[in-house]
Amino acid sequence: MEKKFKKPFPPNREVKKNWRKMKLTLVFTLLVLVTFGKSYSQGTNLSLNFKNADIREVLQSIEDQTNYIFLYKDEIFDFSKKFSVDFENKNFEEILNAICRQANVDYEIRNRQVILKAKSDRTGNEFAMESKTVSGKVADSSGAPLPGVTVVVKGTTNGIITDVDGKYTLNKVPGNATLVFSFVGMKSQEITVTGRTTIDVVMQEETVGIEEVVAIGYGTESKKKLTTSVAKFKADQMEELPITNIADAFSGQISGVLAENGVGTPGSSPVIRIRGYGSINAGSEPLYVIDGMMANSEQFAALNPKSIESVDILKDAAAGAIYGSRAGNGVILVTTKKGKSGEARFSFNATYGVQEVTNKVDVLDRDQWLSLVREAYSNDGIDLPDFYNRDNSEFANTNWQDEIFRTSPYQNYQLSATGSSGKVQYYIAANYLDNEGIVLTTYSKNFSSNGNFDVKLNPKLTVGLTYNASHTKERVNESMSGFGHGSGGYGISGGIIQQALWFAPIIPVYTDNGDYGQYMQGEFANYFTKGYANPVCNLKETHDTYSKNNIMGRLYLNYEPLDGLSFNTSLSGTAYSYYREWYVSPYLAGNNSPYANFSNPVYEKINSGQTNGMTSSYTADAYIEYKRRIADDHQIDVIAGYSRQYTGSRSTTAKSSANDRGTSNALDPIDAYDNYYQPNIYGAALVLGSGSYDENAFESVFSRINYSYKDKYMFMASIRRDGSSKFAPDERWGFFPAVSGAWRISEESFMKDVKWVNELKLRTSYGVSGNDQFGNYAWQGTVDYSGLYTYGTTDSGSSGTGKTLVPSTIENRHLKWETNTQINIGTDASLFDNRVNLTADYFIKKTKDMLLYRSLPLENGITSSLFDNIGNMTNKGIELDLNTINIKSNNFSWTTNLTFTKIKNKVSDVFTSTGEIQYKAGTSASGFGSAIRIIEGHPMFEIYSYKVLGTFETQEQLDSYPRANNALIGDVMIEDYNKDKQINTDDLQPMGHVLPDFTYGLTNTFKFKNIDLTVVIDGSHGASKVVSCLRQAALMRTAENTLQSFYDDRYRQGETGHHMAYASTKATGARHWNMSYFIYDASYTRIKNVVLGYNLPERLCNKLLVNGLRFSVGVQNLHTFTDYPLYNPQANSYNGEAGTAQFGVDVGEYPLSRIYTIGVNLTF
Amino acid sequence: MNILCPESIQLVLTLLFNSKNTVMKYINRYLIIILLVFVFTGCNDNFLDRTDPETLSYDKFYTTEDDFQAALNACYSSLKDQVENLLTFNDEMTDNVFLHRYNATSDLYYFDQCNVPTSSSTIKDFWGACYSSIAYANLVITRITGSEVSEATQKVFTDEAKFIRAYSYFNLVRIYGGVPKYEKEITDLNEVYEVGRSSVEDIYDFIISDLTDAADIDSERTSEQAAEAKGKATSDVVKALLGKVYLQQHDYSNAIATLSDLITNSGLSLEENPENLYDADDPYNNNETMLAINYERVSGQSSPFTNWTLPKFSSGILPNVTSSDNGDGEYNIEPSILAKFSLQDKRRSLIDSADITVGADVIRYYYTKKYLDLETTSAGYSAADFIVLRYADVLLMYADALNQNDQTSGAYTYINEVRSRAGLGPLPTGYTKDQMNDALANERQLEFFLEGDRWFDLSYRGIDYLEKTLNSFFPDSYNTTDASIEDYEELFPLPADEVDLKPDVLTQNSGY
């Protein structure tokens, strides 16, 4: 609690502000020099309770409780000595006597000043000593003059502040005095005068000593008093990492938070899940709040990591409930960097890196593949065609992975400035990030700028502006992943990554005449009838670029009419727009009909289009906060507020498909191409347009009360009432309450002798939040007014043709949000001189009224299914964060951070007729069945497949055991799971689950003098995946390449114990069905980040006239220990996003890259 | 900014920045800013009301006459989904047609084999189609009261909707027996889980009540509306259906009264040349067709019947179709049934044949020309129409009613009128009631061949008659020599998925 300053000293408003801030930040080294107008009472009673405290804390506490001011010189105290005092309502003098005895000092009371003196000091006080005038100049580290710095003679009330030029002149300074220089945000300095009359000082920025504060939504709370589960991630934990997205840094660093890079394309953002999957069909995406603005994951991903000050993650429902209907999957609060007062300081950050694919998949080379082909012809009893009857060396030997992967650069630069000028504090930064993909032709480039401006209009009123603007240019390829020869977005075979695995090695990238080597073209035409496109050609000839612009701005106002009472209001707006254009060049257009290539450009099948999209939103919110400490023991903090938000999205697409081009301008290919077949739709004869438009609105009132008693018992309660346009009028308003409490056991008197416990807190919470991540209009009944019905011809007396009004979806007036209730029990402990810090949580998270599609009896006449609240799910978990300071000495330190998360998921109810929901694993191909299932009573996303027993080795086996799809000897034998003597989809059996049993992370940081080393390891255990893109590789056929492991395990005549089918020119049996050999354990341990840094010593920095200089080298994704066969055990082709609940399927995703970086960080 | 309540924002901005405002002199500027916080709360009207801008919410419809006309158009259009299944139930299931063998995986195979499982998609689709028509009709009936539509027109539209509803329930009750009954729009979705099967009698009472209400529809129409009534429910159409319902219920006296009224007063007559009845472009080019579901040669309104009835792999039948699959071969005429058409029967000219080469064999397939659309450029997108009711049906129903009512001699006039139009002589006199019953069944087969009538006609004559007729035919069947009809098959099964969704109240027909 702050003291009331009736008559400020020095008599200057600006300084008063700074003084108050100093108090706030607990800069204890400065004497407090205030004169009070109020008379004191000698009989003041007070209570004190300290354990192992610094004497300064004790004195501070007395100052806080009384009107007394202590004046003393630091040297009279032995600060290493700890104080423990316990006074309950004792007289001031009595306490003072006791303390002075303990501290071995004398005291003298003058009016309200208590002068403390060393016992030996019998010479009286310095105030009477001979003195002279001292003057000088104060500058910041950049050398710029620093106005407003307080300069006082230590132990006296004699002080002044520096003028605009940073100059000061102080009279009557004793020759042996010490001057104290202090300024908010800077380290205080004490300089002994020793007879000098001119003393110039350079102030250094303050970096330590501030108690950790976490954002809790509409306000902050000190971590010590937190009652809920909130994790904080600070900028310095990620500044050095070569990450393109802030979420990349989370991996393994925060328990309960999963950040999976399931699709590694440049510019893509990891999928973040807080405390597991909270939903099946609605999204499991957390709510993002960036500087108070509600944002989506795109906007979150567009933030440059270097602009971020901190990220606070609200994990339990009690913490999130203040965000109501959108907090069901947790909340991520992002705070960007804010301005610091003082002269402008600049910082330049540069990271340059090279990246490569983390691993390559072992497939057959030319010689092995040719031997497989020859074996296949022999197995099938077909004469080997002359084409293959040549020496191996006459064929190409292409490693397609080498052809599509590349070593590519990564660059990230940031220049920022922060400082203050007059009443304005500012932070501005410009960033550039250039990420060339490790797959040919892909890239993402991002330019961004962000800034913060605070203007203190008067002591009570502050206004500010925060903005973030970015422009991203990306080239990706929509057919990068995808199943088999399914169509990509352009009518071109999809699945480039997987096709690079099975494209035959004997096809050259380019043939002798310069054309792309293609299946079904030239000499290969008779032997490869599958319509895959050459992966290199596919990457080069499908052009697909995005230009994305993201602007977020927030204007806010803070008004404090009285101490402790504040009104906060803000208006923020975000606009995210994108422009996408794509086309398939005439050298690939139509793929194989007719055969496009350089020598045969097919103009009329160019497929092109463009989309313009825009999402804009604005939020207006306001809240009142009242903070007060009553009778010293009771601290209350109440907020009440209101918010409303509108979000609207629109997009327009214009495209021309193959055959819409017309052929008229194709006479002169080159000319026509240059002038007409531009990468846009303009050349098309027929352009089709489409558009989309949707919007939603929220209106909310919320309130929260935090109460603490003696900083020992904490209690929090909050409510939010949310109205959402997404729901039927009757179900539109939801109520989201939360309560939580904490007990700081370490503050109890019975703990004061337990020396090894510095801090011990128990927390518990209960809260309700919601999830509304699904379509904006799901409850509404709609009509289709587009059809026509003709009664007959008008001449025969009918009314001719009329429009039809057909109800197309049915209204669901009961539709409401998914409700998440969560109980959390946790503890925070700091032990052994704060060297061991432990946070542990246990939670039970129940999702009620899960939104799923329910089958509706057709008797309703309108729809066969309805989006409805029909399921329940539970996630139970434990989270551990253990932070230890293993070694701490002057020159060397070693800290370790260990995180561990175990979540048990159970789908408790699925109210469909079967209690089951099934998903295809990326393919609806025959025999594949539904590999991913959600079954009542089981964990969500169970994997089902046929269990491969081996291969049919004898006719006897063939006759006696059920076989699938007319299997022959050498074909795969499938377990007849239900023992009905036939093999069909009823024989699919559970083979694992997609969600991991537990995940973990380990971060070690070593510091030796100016050198530091950080190693981040993360891992996951127990999850399985359906690697459905290996389906083609399992065919063991003459049209595709295969994995080395499949090849080694193939059936060969006269051999036993193999699991893969025999080599053949065609696909017999069920070899490509949903087999257990497509299911892989996706457990991994990964060396995620290694960073070695060197800070230039201060001495050298000063010589170079810079504030700081740091060099670093790093590696991301150094090594992954796993049995996973492809590139990325985290790969998730469907991400489990809303509506496409498939999960745990890898259809051949963009690989993870290993990035080697060097970085420079210069502040000046 | 309109969302943020423009009035209040304007007010606040004015107060804040208009320094001449006298209010400002007295009120702390910052208090106004705080007020800004609270004015937001004062204007939440409609802020949360968002309807899908891409589609139309049906709350916003069903108000004007145009809306209801469009809703009725949808009712008629929805009958397509019903009649497109009628050939399967009536012709595929019986002795009229068989399924091309290369289509053996199709759901129609079950019907060809007379072994329909509860999982059949046709069984489910037809169920859904009938209930869609009912739901659309119920929307009109429920919502037109209190709408902007004039009271006179309300009555006309309601009667049309009632006809649609009655026709749909009539189809349901003949296929499935007693079914769940919905008399108005479903507003609480829980209802569809709770409503069980009504009795057959209940459903018929409901149908008759609807049709009785609608029978005077002609008198309610304005002259303008009457001039455009072709293709809609007219009094003649309603009465013909009512006659059919009475007959189906074996209520012969009411059937006779209703149908004789039509024969006496309707002014309908038989079209001289039967081929004219099947003009794809103009179903009402004659005085016989009472109600046809009309299809057009455009996407969204096109007919599948041409494609379904032409033999698979046939080519050249449709001159403007180049591909060699004019047809899907779903309804190939049973060769053994051809003999029933005598050579002078004009209706035989509605049957043609095509020789299809399959492997080494050349096979002759017979097909009906009733659904031929020679002008179409794609077999799947023809204009071939489906006739729901025509005057020949009225005549034969009347003959049937008389015969069943022991007035066999009176039936001759009407059956002979139909025979005469086909170019056939009168029936020999002196038939017993049973002989006349056989003659009528036979005549109806020839007359309404592949018009979705056969199964209904046979089952109307009783399960024994159905079994006798079909079981004696099967040995001669093209595909189905060992099939048989058993007692329980008088009714088709309820869709398994529907029973699964509400097993407590929706009981499956016995035998399935």
Of A261-270, A516-525, B465-474, give the range with the top mean pLDDT: B465-474
Q: Name the maximum alpha-carbon separation found in chain A.
A: 127
- Is B292 in Cβ contact with A697 (below 8 Å)? no
Residues A1072, A1101: Cα–Cα separation, whole Å: 65
Which of the two residues, A179 and A48, has the higher pLDDT score? A179
B325 falls in which pLDDT band (50, 70, 90)?
confident
- Is A798 in Cβ contact with B228 (below 8 Å)? yes
User: pTM, whole model, 2 decimals?
Assistant: 0.76
Nearest CA in chain B to A699: B48
Distance from CA of A875 to the nearest CA of B (A): 29
Nearest CA in chain A to B503: A913
Mean predicted confidence (pLDDT) in A359-376: 94
Mean predicted confidence (pLDDT) in A919-943: 74
CB A1033 within 8 A of CB A1041: yes
Helices B391-404, B235-248: inter-axial angle, 10-degree rounding: 30
Main-chain dihedrals φ then ψ at residue A588, nearest 5 degrees: -130, -20
Residues A677, A670: Cα–Cα separation, whole Å: 10
Residues A223, A983: Cα–Cα separation, whole Å: 60
Percent over 90 (pLDDT), chain A: 36
pLDDT per residue over B163-189, tens digit each? 999 999 999 999 999 999 999 998 888
Mean predicted confidence (pLDDT) in A517-539: 83
Residues A549, A614: Cα–Cα separation, whole Å: 9
Nearest CA in chain A to B67: A805
A797 falls in which pLDDT band (50, 70, 90)?
confident
> What six digits make up the tokens of A598?
């350089």
| B43 interaction partners in chain A (CB closer than 8 Å) | none
Closest CA to A772 of A837, A846, A722, A806: A722
Mean predicted confidence (pLDDT) in A647-673: 64
- Is B292 in Cβ contact with A858 (below 8 Å)? no
Percent over 70 (pLDDT), chain A: 88
**What one-character DSSP code corresponds to residue A1123?**
-
pLDDT exceeds cutoff 70 at B300: yes
CB B9 within 8 A of CB B3: no
Mean pLDDT (chain A) is 83
- Is A859 in Cβ contact with B195 (below 8 Å)? yes
A886 falls in which pLDDT band (50, 70, 90)?
very high
Distance from CA of A713 to the nearest CA of B (A): 33
pLDDT value at residue A130: 60
pLDDT value at residue A14: 44
- Is B52 in Cβ contact with A777 (below 8 Å)? yes
pLDDT per residue over A805-829, tens digit each? 998 888 888 888 889 999 999 999 9
Q: How far is CA A947 from its chain centroid?
A: 38
Mean predicted confidence (pLDDT) in B429-441: 96
- Is A461 in Cβ contact with B294 (below 8 Å)? no
- Is B495 in Cβ contact with A789 (below 8 Å)? no
Residue A841's DSSP bridge partners are: A826, A879
CB A1090 within 8 A of CB A1115: yes
Nearest-CB residue to A642 (from B40, B132, B232): B40
**Beta-carbon neighbour count of residue B457 at 10 Å?**
22
Distance from CA of A82 to the nearest CA of B (A): 48
Task: Report the SS3 class of residue A538.
Answer: helix
CB A900 within 8 A of CB A255: yes
- Is A461 in Cβ contact with B40 (below 8 Å)? no
CB A404 within 8 A of CB A545: no
Which of the two residues, A925 and B309, has the higher pLDDT score? B309
Residues A905, A909: Cα–Cα separation, whole Å: 12
pLDDT per residue over B348-407, tens digit each? 999 999 998 877 788 899 999 999 999 998 888 899 999 999 999 999 999 999 999 999
Structure-derived torsion over alpha carbons of residues B299, B305, B309, B312, reported in degrees to the nearest 10: 20
| A912 interaction partners in chain B (CB closer than 8 Å) | none
Task: Report the SS3 class of residue B156.
Answer: helix
Mean predicted confidence (pLDDT) in A572-588: 87
Size of interface A-B (CB pairs under 8 A): 224
A32 falls in which pLDDT band (50, 70, 90)?
very low
CA distances A704 to A726, A738, A739, A767, A952, Å, are 25, 9, 10, 13, 69
> What six digits make up the tokens of A5?
């300053």
Mean predicted confidence (pLDDT) in A604-622: 86
Mean predicted confidence (pLDDT) in A252-256: 86
Among A406-420, B47-61, B184-198, the least confident range? B47-61
Nearest-CB residue to B40 (from A461, A644, A855): A644
pLDDT value at residue A670: 44
Burial pattern B61-94, b for ≥16 Cβ within 10 A else e, equals: bbeeeebbbbbbbbbbbbbbebbbbbbbbbbbbb
Please name the residues in contact with A188: beta carbons below 8 A apart, sequence gap of 6 or more: A27, A29, A30, A180, A181, A182
- Is B284 in Cβ contact with A792 (below 8 Å)? yes
pLDDT exceeds cutoff 60 at A13: no
CB B402 within 8 A of CB B99: no
- Is A567 in Cβ contact with B230 (below 8 Å)? no
| B127 interaction partners in chain A (CB closer than 8 Å) | 858
- Is A811 in Cβ contact with B59 (below 8 Å)? yes
As a whole number of Å, the end-to-end CA separation of chain B is 63
Quick one: A498 exposed, middle or buried, by C-beta within 10 A (0-12, 13-18, 19+)? buried
Nearest CA in chain B to A864: B128
pLDDT value at residue A185: 65
pLDDT exceeds cutoff 50 at A17: no
Run of H or E including A952: none
Q: How far is CA A181 from its chain centroid?
A: 41
Distance from CA of B2 to the nearest CA of A (A): 11
Is-cis flag, bond preceding A10, omega within 30? yes
pLDDT per residue over A72-125, tens digit each? 777 777 777 777 778 877 777 778 888 887 777 888 777 677 878 777 544 444
Identify the residue among B48, B66, B268, B382 best suited for mutation to test binding to A, counting A beta carbons within 10 A and taking the highest. B48
CB A987 within 8 A of CB A975: yes
Distance from CA of B31 to the nearest CA of A (A): 9
Burial pattern A252-281, b for ≥16 Cβ within 10 A else e, equals: bbbbbbbbbbbbbbbbbbbbbbbbbbbbbb
Q: Which residue has the tokens 């293959």?
A: A388
pLDDT value at residue B102: 66
What are the residue boundaries of the structural domains of chain B, listed by start? 295-384
pLDDT value at residue A585: 81
Residues A571, A291: Cα–Cα separation, whole Å: 12
Task: Report the SS3 class of residue A407.
Answer: coil
Main-chain dihedrals φ then ψ at residue B377, nearest 5 degrees: -100, -5
Distance from CA of B192 to the nearest CA of A (A): 6
Distance from CA of A423 to the nearest CA of B (A): 18
Identify the residue among B50, B222, B291, B500 best suited for mutation to test binding to A, counting A beta carbons within 10 A and taking the highest. B50
Residues A852, A850: Cα–Cα separation, whole Å: 6
| B44 interaction partners in chain A (CB closer than 8 Å) | 644, 699, 723
Quick one: B218 exposed, middle or buried, by C-beta within 10 A (0-12, 13-18, 19+)? middle
- Is B78 in Cβ contact with A806 (below 8 Å)? yes
Please name the residues in contact with A186: beta carbons below 8 A apart, sequence gap of 6 or more: A140, A146, A149, A203, A204, A205, A206, A342
Residue A950's DSSP bridge partners are: A973
Mean predicted confidence (pLDDT) in A343-352: 90
Percent over 90 (pLDDT), chain B: 70
Residues B17, B33: Cα–Cα separation, whole Å: 11
**What one-character DSSP code corresponds to residue A1075?**
B
Residues B82, B104: Cα–Cα separation, whole Å: 23
Quick one: B159 exposed, middle or buried, by C-beta within 10 A (0-12, 13-18, 19+)? buried
Mean predicted confidence (pLDDT) in A412-426: 90
> What six digits make up the tokens of A1014?
């950080």
- As for the ipTM of the complex, it is 0.90
Sheet with A189-192, edge to edge strand ranges: A159-161, A150-153, A178-182, A189-192
Q: Which residue has the tokens 């019975």?
A: A750
- Is A695 in Cβ contact with B53 (below 8 Å)? yes
Distance from CA of B48 to the nearest CA of A (A): 4
> What six digits make up the tokens of B461?
């004559």
Q: How far is CA A411 from its chain centroid?
A: 20
Mean predicted confidence (pLDDT) in B67-90: 96
Nearest-CB residue to B57 (from A729, A781, A793): A781
| A461 interaction partners in chain B (CB closer than 8 Å) | 30
pLDDT per residue over A1132-1150, tens digit each? 776 544 444 457 888 888 8
- Is A859 in Cβ contact with B56 (below 8 Å)? no
Please name the residues in contact with A815: beta carbons below 8 A apart, sequence gap of 6 or more: A727, A728, A731, A778, A779, A851, A867, A868, A869
A672 falls in which pLDDT band (50, 70, 90)?
very low
CB A339 within 8 A of CB A420: yes
- Is A644 in Cβ contact with B47 (below 8 Å)? yes
Percent over 70 (pLDDT), chain B: 90
Residues A1031, A1126: Cα–Cα separation, whole Å: 13
Distance from CA of A697 to the nearest CA of B (A): 6
CB A334 within 8 A of CB A289: yes
Q: How far is CA B235 from its chain centroid?
A: 18
CB A1133 within 8 A of CB A1146: yes
> What six digits make up the tokens of A301?
């991903």
